[in-house]
Structure 1
């Protein structure tokens, strides 16, 4: 590393995050499984969102550190919704804290408002629908007939041209005092908000908590999955008029696209494949 790189702040499946320069910025450095092209795409997407006035960390530029491509961002002194939930659960020791967590519901209303704000923007980015088609075609567990059925279902949906985040999970929503920011714009595209909403529904419904996290998180998540989805959809419908009936046709294609994602665990893929095939049978 260079003198510009400070202490490590965190990591995900594709990158590590470090303090940068005087600590007022961070640098996101790619892991070996992430290409320079992917980092460039994320930087362009985040820059477009920031220039539109959306609540995202300002992206300052691209760097290379000891051969690793990276992006320098404004540092947001806050924590993700996911981390807040995990930290609360680690200290969970009485009924009052459990009630407090139940009322929190992963800040579903905040997420709904952020996504609605995102969806009011239209910029020039890659086509959401084409990306979904390509992801479905790469899913190794689907038959050719299933793939064509899913793509036909996708093509039946109305075409929209709105900015979509592509990965609206609680780990990508940062909270700072009374402000909320949305990060990780690698999967952003122009298309239908209903696809983003389906991503959120599928995430809440089928996420399998990894074994390195507290077992209490899995128990807690099971108790709030559907209630959290209802709260999220209620808030988004209040803002936009989009109902669950409008999102329903997107569930199967979005679940199918996640079958080709490296970040989707094998346990989650099994649940998603069952859901996709059930929906194909009932279509």
Structure 2
């Protein structure tokens, strides 16, 4: 990402990635969600990129650092709910993405992979907008001026899966706030915490494909949390744990 006048360019060496990101933002813009407005998709200084509105400089994560109160969690949950109220028509399928990532996740034997895929199939699909990477560092501005950025992983699916993904991301970046966020979202939407955490094995398995070696221990623990994971073989140097999330 770099500045270009009053706007910004999100760039990638992969043309397909940029086109998908621009397409996602075009769909979301029509839904009146707080996203950057896309002005162009093309080559900028030899790299493919999306020219869009520049996000405000203030980051919502600063509020998490400055206070231990629950207000930031509740504000973030309300914003997340606002996304989930919108139909996800035209966005990629979340279930298909999770299935594909579980199929290529390293360290899973055939039995464990098949079990995870069966469990995924048993979870309820949805048709709502899901951000796919919703965390405080992707929220800028404040009050009515919030802007949510980084929509490359936007998809159509069950909002509870999207919240579970946020739990996994927060558990690494702000572990003391992860379960509090799940509880805040459940409170403002009337959802069940157990319904959110039911997605944890599938979300954790999919996370294994993202090259996050420093999160392997947590992911392995979540895979073992609800089920017998004797078939899971952690990478070398990773301690296999069996712990409760949160």
Query: Same-fold call, TM > 0.5?
Result: yes
Equivalent in the alignment of 1:42? 21
Structure 1 residue runs without a partner (length 5+): 1-16, 89-99, 210-220
Q: Deviations over 1:86-108 (max 9, x none)?
A: 9x6xxxxxxxxxxx532267x22
Stretch moving more, 232-241 or 250-259: 232-241
1:57-72 → structure 2 map (5 Å cutoff): 57-72=36-51
Matched, 1:28 2:10: yes
Match of 2:34 in 1: 55
Superposed CA deviations along residues 90-140 of structure 1, whole A, max 9, x for unmatched, are: xxxxxxxxxx532267x2222211211111111221111010000111111
The answer to whether 1:118 aligns with 2:83 is: yes
Match of 2:161 in 1: 195
CA distance in 2, matches of 1:78, 1:137: 39
Q: Deviations over 1:7-65 (max 9, x none)?
A: xxxxxxxxxx2221xx22111122x4xx1101111111111111100011111120202
Structure 1 residue runs of 4 or more that deviate by more than 4 Å after TM superposition: none
Equivalent positions of 1:1-283 (< 5 A) are: 17-20=1-4, 23-30=5-12, 32=13, 35-82=14-61, 84=62, 100-103=66-69, 107-122=72-87, 123-176=89-142, 178-205=144-171, 207=172, 221-222=174-175, 224-226=176-178, 229-230=179-180, 232-262=181-211, 264=212, 266-281=213-228
Q: Secondary structure at the match of 2:67?
A: helix
What is the CA-CA distance between 1:145 and the residue it aligns to? 1.1
SS at match of 2:152: coil
Corresponding position of 1:4: none
Structure with the bigger percentage of helix: 1
Q: How large is the Cα RMSD of the aligned pairs?
A: 2.1
Report the CA distance between 1:71 and its aligned residue: 0.4
CA drift of 1:166 comes to 0.6
SS at match of 2:123: coil
**Offset of residue 242 of structure 1:** 1.2
Q: TM-score, normalised on structure 1?
A: 0.74
Q: Judge conservation of contact 1:39–1:71 (CA < 8 Å) in 2.
A: yes
The answer for unaligned runs of 5 or more in structure 2 is 230-246
Deviation at 1:178, TM superposition (A): 4.8
Taking the aligned partners of 2:126 and 2:143, their CA distance within structure 1 comes to 34
